[in-house]
Chains A and B, each alone.
Chain A
Amino acid sequence: QSALTQPASVSGSPGQSITISCTGTSSDVGSYNLVSWYQQHPGKAPKLMIYEVSKRPSGVSNRFSGSKSGNTASLTISGLQAEDEADYYCCSYAGSSTFVFGTGTKVTVL
């Protein structure tokens, strides 16, 4: 159960697009289409942004999209806005009723 690997930080200017990677193994990300992404603002509880690799919950902006290739999942934020500045975490089902989170990525809007 090693944490999934994410870049520590990603930045972009308003209006730009950024992509956050999430690298796991063939035992988690590579085996299941159960990758989810969470946004967390300081002092707040996490918020589900993407589930099952690319599905958006009701109410989440379509500027957020997800994908997966092999053992790596990605979250893309298009049309970056100031309110998108937050920490982002990926998460994957890892078999045997267990999950594993990513190391987290701090997104900065320049």
Chain B
Amino acid sequence: EVQLVESGGGLVQPGRSLRLSCAASGFTFDDYAMHWVRQAPGKGLEWVSGISWNSGSIGYADSVKGRFTISRDNAKNSLYLQMNSLRAEDTALYYCAKDKGAAEGIAFDIWGQGTMVTVSS
């Protein structure tokens, strides 16, 4: 069964850091690009960051550029999101999503159930 399981969310104070992880199974992880997408409570979807199969192409939303870093470990079938200098507006459910393609991205065909990040003092 194709599956993505996110972890690492929680309550964090503004300005602090958090690292999200996404464990993939059921498909050849290093054949596909991967992404993080977030959804603030009661709001719409926001693409956060994406990484190609070999980490050669990486992109970030303007809202997180310079603060968040995406990475992957193909040997561990895992995707990561290092989030620094967190702000209240980063509060959201963070989804890990698999791309249909390998390179810069096509569409997000498999989604995890998400991990909640709450930034509050």
A contact residues vs B (CB 8 Å cutoff): 1, 3, 34, 36, 38, 40, 45-48, 51-52, 57, 87, 89, 91, 93, 96-104
| CB contacts between A and B, total, < 8 Å | 72
Q: Are B104 and A97 in contact (CB under 8 A)?
A: yes
B50 vs chain A, min Cβ distance (A): 6
Knowing A96-B59, A97-B57, A97-B58 touch, does A38 contact B45 (C-beta < 8 A)? yes
Interface residue B32 (Cβ < 8 Å from any Cβ of A): no
Closest 4 pairs (CB-CB, A-B): A97-B59, A51-B107, A36-B107, A104-B44
Pick from B63, B95, B107: contact of A52, CB below 8 A.
B107
Knowing A34-B106, A45-B113 touch, does A91 contact B44 (C-beta < 8 A)? no
For the A-B complex with A101-B37, A103-B44 known, give 20 more contacts whose Cβ atoms are closer than 8 Å. A3-B44, A34-B106, A38-B45, A45-B112, A46-B95, A46-B111, A47-B111, A89-B45, A93-B105, A97-B50, A97-B57, A97-B59, A97-B104, A98-B47, A98-B60, A99-B35, A99-B105, A100-B47, A101-B47, A104-B45
Q: Are A46 and B44 in contact (CB under 8 A)?
A: no
CA distance A97 to B63 in the complex (A): 15
CA distance A97 to B105 in the complex (A): 7
A interface footprint on B1-27 (CB within 8 Å = 1, 0 otherwise): 000000000000000000000000000
Q: Are A34 and B62 in contact (CB under 8 A)?
A: no
Counting contact residues on chain B (CB < 8 A from A), the size range is: 20 to 34
Residues in A with CB closer than 8 Å to B105 are 34, 93, 97, 99
Knowing A89-B44, A96-B59 touch, does A48 contact B107 (C-beta < 8 A)? yes
CA distance A7 to B102 in the complex (A): 32
Q: Are B44 and A34 in contact (CB under 8 A)?
A: no
Residues in B with CB closer than 8 Å to A103 are 44
24 contacts between A and B (CB under 8 A): A1-B61, A1-B62, A38-B45, A38-B108, A45-B111, A45-B114, A46-B108, A48-B108, A48-B109, A51-B107, A57-B109, A87-B44, A89-B44, A91-B45, A93-B105, A97-B57, A98-B47, A98-B50, A98-B59, A98-B61, A99-B50, A99-B105, A101-B45, A104-B44
